[in-house]
Each structure stands twice: as C-alpha cells, then as structure tokens.
C-alpha cells in the first residue's frame, strides 16, 4: 500500500491494518520455517508496509502534540 493512501486513513484504521499485517507476517514466518513460502518478496513487502504505518502513526502523534503546544 502506498504511503499517500495510508495518510488518508484514520488512526484507528491504521492500527487495525498494522495488526493484520503483523498476523500476516507471522504466518509468512511459519511458511519460511516449513519451506512453504512461495515468494520471499512478499515478506519484505509486508515488513515495509508495517514500517510505513508505524512512521505515519508517529507523524500523526507528533502533529497532534505540536497542535497542543
């Protein structure tokens, strides 16, 4: 998912999406361990999406904090 699309999402939606991606990453790790993973790039993409979501959540938090000050 693109970062621009993520920035349009609500904070709650981003948290839900992050949770889903974390579960998907866990399943992919099990597939790696059992030798069933078909595409290693998929695992990399999921990790990058999680990082994007965390970055955007942090940006939202910083912006909200800046408004209070």
The Cα diameter of the chain in Å comes to 52
Provide the whole-model pTM. 0.88
Confidence of residue 42 (pLDDT cuts 50, 70, 90): very high
The mean pLDDT value for 18-39 works out to 94
CATH number for the domain whose boundaries are 10-68: 1.10.287.310
In degrees, rounded to 5, the angle at the alpha carbon of residue 10 between the alpha carbons of residues 25 and 53 is: 35
Q: What is the tally of helices (H) and strands (E) in the chain?
A: 3, 0
Structural domain spans, the chain: 10-68
């Amino acid at each position: 998912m693109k970062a621009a699309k993520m920035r349009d999402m609500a904070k709650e939606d981003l948290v839900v999406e992050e949770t889903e991606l974390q579960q998907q990453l866990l399943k992919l790790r099990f597939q790696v361990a059992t030798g069933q993973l078909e595409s290693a790039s998929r695992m990399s993409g999921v990790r990058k999406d999680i990082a994007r979501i965390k970055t955007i959540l942090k940006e939202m938090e910083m912006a909200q904090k800046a408004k209070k000050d």
